[in-house]
Structure 1
Amino acid sequence: MSTQRTVKQDADTVEGSEALRIDADRAEQLVDALNTDLAATYVLYHQLKKHHWVVEGAEFRDLHLFLGEAAEEAEEFADELAERAQALGGVPLSGGATYEEHAPVSHEGQDVYDIRTSLENDMEMYGDIIETLREHVELAENLGDPATAHLLRENLIEVEDAAHHIEHYLEDDTLVLEEATH
């Protein structure tokens, strides 16, 4: 069993990447953006999982499946972000408190809300993430990193699609009849 305890790289350092031909100055900006997106994505992931677990009502099945799939997509994107940050010579953020500290979005908290409120909270978070991703796509392009821009752009499409689905769930039109008041 290894007893090695040597820190290979401090958490908030960026070395750049000779293989990718991205110097440390540009890599630092890119890793910072990727870590911001990583933190936001994990905060979103945990909120979506919470809603997946607690959803009730007539649309339970559809919403339960949608929220589960949306959480899986967020988890996959988080992995891609972390791997790209590492490839650029940085250290991906890790840990719940670290994510919440660095995320430009906030989790709705521990309380359970009605599904409409929960979805409205999700859509607000998606909207904030969409704006941040757009800024980071532009940053990556301006720093001459088309691969990071492509990664972010591909996820932006998925994030916008999920937000669009939530927008549909929040429409007033429904097949569920309201109970008549007497």
Structure 2
Amino acid sequence: MATQEHVRKQFGEVEENKLRLEKEKSEQIIDALNQDLADAYTLYHQLKKHHWNVEGAEFRDLHLFLGEAAGNVEAAADEIAERAQALGGAPIAGGAEQAEHASVEYEGQDVYDIRTSLHNDLEMYGDVIESLRDHIELAENLGDHATAQILREILVETEEDAHHIEHYLEDDTLVVEGAMD
């Protein structure tokens, strides 16, 4: 255990960066990235909850999809956090802080039927997508084309996963109601 404690950077403090983006611009982008990071972890935890609790005839496909979707969100969160750090900021890291900075709201601890769960996921995906679009525009307007590109790539994958959920929620299914009775 360390015998000395030294804070190297306060959360919210932005240092000059080697990417040659002005500090004032970096501050705005880091704030946006930390919101995206908080949103990503909120979505991640909700997807994992549904991954763990899904049941029924379509269990296997949904279980695998939700696990993969959560993995996609986790990978996106890592990219977002690393970009915030590269811009001279500190990525938001604590659960309570993430909940405070998130623009999306976790559905809570209750377990719902899978259709309700997927509707809740799709709603959160929609909010995350809108926020990503806003932050892409912000980064572009501030001349941070690399952050905009990173967020664009995350947006594409996020939209794809949301579209898959739309397909799961369609009413066309091979499962016949009452067939298991």
SS in 1 for 2:9: coil
Q: Structure 2: 5+ residue runs without aligned partners?
A: none
Is residue 168 of structure 1 aligned with residue 167 of structure 2? Answer: yes
SS in 1 for 2:131: helix
Q: Deviations over 1:63-86 (max 9, x none)?
A: 000000000111111111110000
**Alignment match, 1:88:** 87
C-alpha displacement of 1:2: 3.8
Partner Cα distance (1:72, 1:110) in 2: 21
**Alignment match, 2:135:** 136
C-alpha displacement of 1:30: 0.5
C-alpha displacement of 1:101: 0.6
CA contact (8 A) 1:16 1:25 kept: no
SS in 1 for 2:171: coil
C-alpha displacement of 1:155: 0.3
CA contact (8 A) 1:16 1:90 kept: no
**Alignment match, 1:16:** 16
Partner Cα distance (2:9, 2:96) in 1: 20
**Alignment match, 1:100:** 99
Q: Deviations over 1:5-36 (max 9, x none)?
A: 1111111111131x200111000000000000
**Alignment match, 2:36:** 37
**Alignment match, 1:59:** 58
Partner Cα distance (1:67, 1:102) in 2: 24
Partner Cα distance (1:152, 1:37) in 2: 9
Partner Cα distance (2:143, 2:28) in 1: 12
Q: Structure 1: 5+ residue runs without aligned partners?
A: none
C-alpha displacement of 1:3: 2.1
Aligned-residue Cα RMSD (Å) equals 0.9
Partner Cα distance (1:176, 1:125) in 2: 27
Partner Cα distance (2:92, 2:2) in 1: 25
Letter in 1 for 2:39: A
Deviates further, 8-17 or 67-76: 8-17
TM-score by length of 1: 0.96
Q: Deviations over 1:120-161 (max 9, x none)?
A: 000000000000000000000000011000000000000000
Is residue 69 of structure 1 aligned with residue 68 of structure 2? Answer: yes
Aligned pairs for 1:139-158 (under 5 A) are 139-158=138-157
